[in-house]
C-alpha cells in the first residue's frame, strides 16, 4: 500500500472507531507527514463548539488563526478555539504533526466521562487557554502515539475506552499546564532569530550551509545538528522552502517577470534547477503555477 493510501485508510479507520469506543466528545484524532504542498487549508470555522489542538512534532507549519499569523515549530502547540477562523499559510515547510478535535459542551456538565464540577472546570480551562501558541512538553508525542495505537488495536480490549479517557485527560492537562507556563521557544531565542535573519537577508543569492555555519561561528556538523533540533528540518531544505515561498509570490504577483529571471533573482544555478526544486516542493511547474494563479484571480 502506498503512503497516501495508507494515510487515507488510517484516517478512515480512526474516524469509524471513535464513537463505538465511547468517546462522544472526541471528534477526530490524526497524525501525518507533509513533505509536499497539496494545497493549503482555506479559511474555515469549526462548528458546534469544536476545539482543535495541533502538535507539531517536526518541522515548521504556518497558520493564520483569528487574523493572526503563527509559525509553529517542532515541539510546539497551537490551539484553535471554537469560533476561530483559521487556515494554513505560506511559507510551507516539511512537517510531521498531530491534531485532536474535541466537542466542548455548552453547559459543561459532562465531558470525557467526567460529571459535574470536574467536567465544568476542565471545559472552562480549555476555553480559557492563553496564549494559543506555546512550547509543548516532551510527554505529548508518546502520549498521542499511545492513544492512536489503542484506537487502532483490533479487537479492542474491554478496558480500552476507560484507558483512552484517562490518556486523553492526561494530554489535555499537559496542554493546559504548558499554556499556563507561557513558554515561547523562539521569542527570546537569539540564535534562532540570528540564523533566520541571515537566511532572509540572503534569499536572493546562493546560500550554502557552510556559510550559515560560519555566520553562527559553529562547526558544520554542530550547526546542522542544532539547526535540525531547532527547526525540525535540515538547513538546505529550509532555505529551499523559503526561496520557493518567495518564488510563488513573484510568479503570482509579478506577471511581467520571466521565470528565468525569478530563478536568477533567487540564486538558483539555472532555470532548470529552479523548476526541479519548485516541482519537488509544490508538485507543479513554475509556469503551470503562474497560469493557475492568473486563472484563479480572474474567476
* Architecture of the domain whose range is 190-298: Orthogonal Bundle (1.10)
Q: What is the pLDDT of residues 130-147, one digit of tens each?
A: 888 888 898 999 999 998
The pLDDT of residue 5: 45
The pLDDT of residue 170: 94
For residue 289 the three cell numbers come to 503555477
For residue 247 the three cell numbers come to 518564488
DSSP the chain: --HHHHHHHHHHHHHHHTGGGT-TTEEEEEEEEE-S---PPPSB---SSEEEEEEEEEEEEEEEETTEEEEEETTEEEEE-TT--EEEESSP--EEEEEEEEE--SS-SEETTEESHHHHHHHHHHHT--SSEEE--TTHHHHHHHHHHHHH-SSPPTTHHHHHHHHHHHHHHHHHHHHHHT--TTTT-HHHHHHHHHHHHTTTS---HHHHHHHTT--HHHHHHHHHHHHSS-HHHHHHHHHHHHHHHHHHH-TTS-HHHHHHHTT-S-HHHHHHHHHHHHSS-HHHHHHHHHHHHH-
The pLDDT of residue 74: 82
CATH for the stretch 3-181: 2.60.120.280
Distances (CA, A) of 143 to 114, 129, 146, 257: 20, 20, 5, 49
Report the Cα 220 to chain-centroid distance in Å.
28
CA-closest candidate to residue 105, choices 166, 18, 4, 27:
27
The pLDDT of residue 299: 60
The pLDDT of residue 22: 54
- For 151, half-sphere exposure in the C-beta direction (CA atoms, 13 angstrom radius) is 28
Report the Cα 198 to chain-centroid distance in Å.
24
Predicted confidence pLDDT, tens digits, the chain (299 residues): 444 444 444 444 444 444 445 567 888 888 887 766 556 777 788 777 889 999 998 877 888 888 888 888 888 899 988 888 777 776 667 788 899 998 888 876 788 878 888 989 998 899 888 888 888 898 999 999 998 888 887 767 788 888 888 999 999 999 999 998 875 555 446 888 899 899 999 999 999 999 999 999 999 999 999 898 777 788 998 899 889 889 988 998 888 899 999 999 999 989 999 999 998 888 789 999 888 888 777 76
Question: What ranges do the domains of the chain cover?
Answer: 3-181, 190-298
> Greatest CA span in the chain, whole angstroms?
66
The pLDDT of residue 12: 44
Amino acid at each position: 500500500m502506498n503512503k497516501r493510501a495508507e494515510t487515507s485508510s488510517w484516517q478512515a479507520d480512526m474516524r469509524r472507531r471513535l464513537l463505538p469506543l465511547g468517546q462522544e466528545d472526541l471528534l477526530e484524532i490524526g497524525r501525518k507527514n507533509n513533505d509536499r504542498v497539496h494545497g493549503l487549508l482555506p479559511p474555515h470555522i469549526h462548528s458546534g463548539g469544536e476545539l482543535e489542538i495541533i502538535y507539531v512534532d517536526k518541522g515548521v507549519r504556518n497558520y493564520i488563526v483569528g487574523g493572526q499569523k503563527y509559525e509553529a515549530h517542532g515541539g510546539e502547540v497551537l490551539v484553535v478555539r471554537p469560533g476561530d477562523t483559521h487556515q494554513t499559510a505560506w511559507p510551507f515547510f516539511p512537517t510531521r504533526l498531530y491534531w485532536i478535535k474535541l466537542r466542548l459542551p455548552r453547559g459543561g456538565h459532562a465531558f470525557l466521562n467526567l460529571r459535574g464540577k470536574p467536567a465544568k472546570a476542565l471545559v472552562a480551562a480549555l476555553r480559557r487557554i492563553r496564549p494559543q501558541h506555546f512550547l509543548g512538553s516532551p510527554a505529548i508525542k508518546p502520549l498521542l502515539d499511545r492513544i492512536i495505537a489503542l484506537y487502532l488495536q483490533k479487537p479492542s480490549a474491554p478496558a480500552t475506552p476507560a484507558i483512552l479517557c484517562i490518556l486523553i485527560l492526561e494530554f489535555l492537562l499537559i496542554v493546559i499546564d504548558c499554556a499556563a507556563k507561557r513558554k515561547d521557544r523562539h521569542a527570546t531565542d537569539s540564535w534562532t532569530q540570528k540564523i533566520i535573519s541571515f537566511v532572509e537577508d540572503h534569499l536572493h543569492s546562493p546560500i550554502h550551509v557552510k556559510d550559515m555555519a560560519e555566520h553562527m561561528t559553529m562547526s558544520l556538523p554542530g550547526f546542522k545538528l542544532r539547526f535540525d533540533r531547532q527547526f525540525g528540518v535540515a538547513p538546505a531544505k529550509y532555505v529551499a522552502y523559503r526561496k520557493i515561498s518567495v518564488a510563488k509570490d513573484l510568479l503570482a504577483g509579478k506577471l511581467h517577470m520571466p521565470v528565468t529571471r525569478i530563478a536568477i533573482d533567487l540564486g538558483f544555478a539555472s532555470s532548470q534547477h529552479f523548476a526541479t526544486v519548485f516541482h519537488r516542493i509544490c508538485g507543479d511547474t513554475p509556469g503551470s503555477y503562474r497560469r493557475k494563479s492568473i486563472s484563479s484571480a480572474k474567476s
